[in-house]
């Protein structure tokens, strides 16, 4: 016995600058009885999309030791409309091409959670909604995988000493 057809409303941005310029469409979803068979592993989920400036060809490599990632078990699991119950978040390293895309499309007021979203496959608002201990664990794992270009510069103190001390 099959249940009533299920669909979802999807908004597709049509403009990089005008957030209200979207195409709205209904897409069919598989029947609820098939949802358990769907691939819901965050490590296998596609990365958060980055708007295309120019098409950059990026090869998908099969790494010898598997995907470079780290699984973060959550102290406070949560339910997600798309993934069901989430008990862990997988953080993965970015490819050089993904870093290039981020640099090309980074907003004027950058937020590390936009980068974390690409590294985890979870939208930035979901990551911001984590309880502090889980958010810190995910942020720490993301920071460990942060490309150098996104790390703060080490170096000069915030203000030089005025008393002649070194």
Contact 102, 116 (CB under 8 A): no
Per-residue pLDDT of the chain (166 residues; tens, 9 = 90+): 556 677 777 777 776 677 777 777 777 777 777 766 766 555 555 555 554 556 677 777 777 777 788 999 999 999 988 889 999 999 998 888 888 887 777 766 667 888 899 899 999 999 999 999 999 999 999 988 887 777 766 654 544 445 555 4
- What is the DSSP-derived secondary structure letter of residue 20? T
pTM above 0.75, yes or no: no
Determine the Cα–Cα distance for residues 69 and 144; give it in Å rounded to an integer: 11
Contact 13, 21 (CB under 8 A): yes
């Amino acid at each position: 016995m099959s249940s009533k057809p299920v669909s979802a409303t999807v908004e597709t941005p049509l403009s990089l600058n005008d957030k209200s310029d979207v195409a709205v469409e209904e897409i069919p979803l598989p029947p609820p009885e098939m949802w358990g068979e769907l691939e819901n592993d965050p490590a296998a989920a596609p990365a958060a999309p980055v708007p295309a400036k120019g098409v950059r060809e990026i090869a998908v490599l099969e790494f010898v030791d598997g995907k470079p990632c780290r699984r973060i078990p959550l102290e406070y699991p949560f339910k997600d409309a798309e993934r069901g119950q989430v008990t862990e978040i997988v953080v993965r390293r970015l490819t050089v091409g993904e870093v290039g895309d981020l640099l090309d499309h980074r907003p004027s007021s950058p937020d590390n959670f936009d980068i974390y979203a690409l590294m985890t496959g979870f939208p930035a608002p979901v990551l911001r909604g984590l309880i502090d201990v889980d958010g810190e664990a995910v942020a720490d794992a993301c920071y460990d995988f942060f490309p150098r270009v996104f790390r703060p510069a080490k170096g000069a103190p915030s203000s030089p000493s005025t008393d002649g001390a070194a």
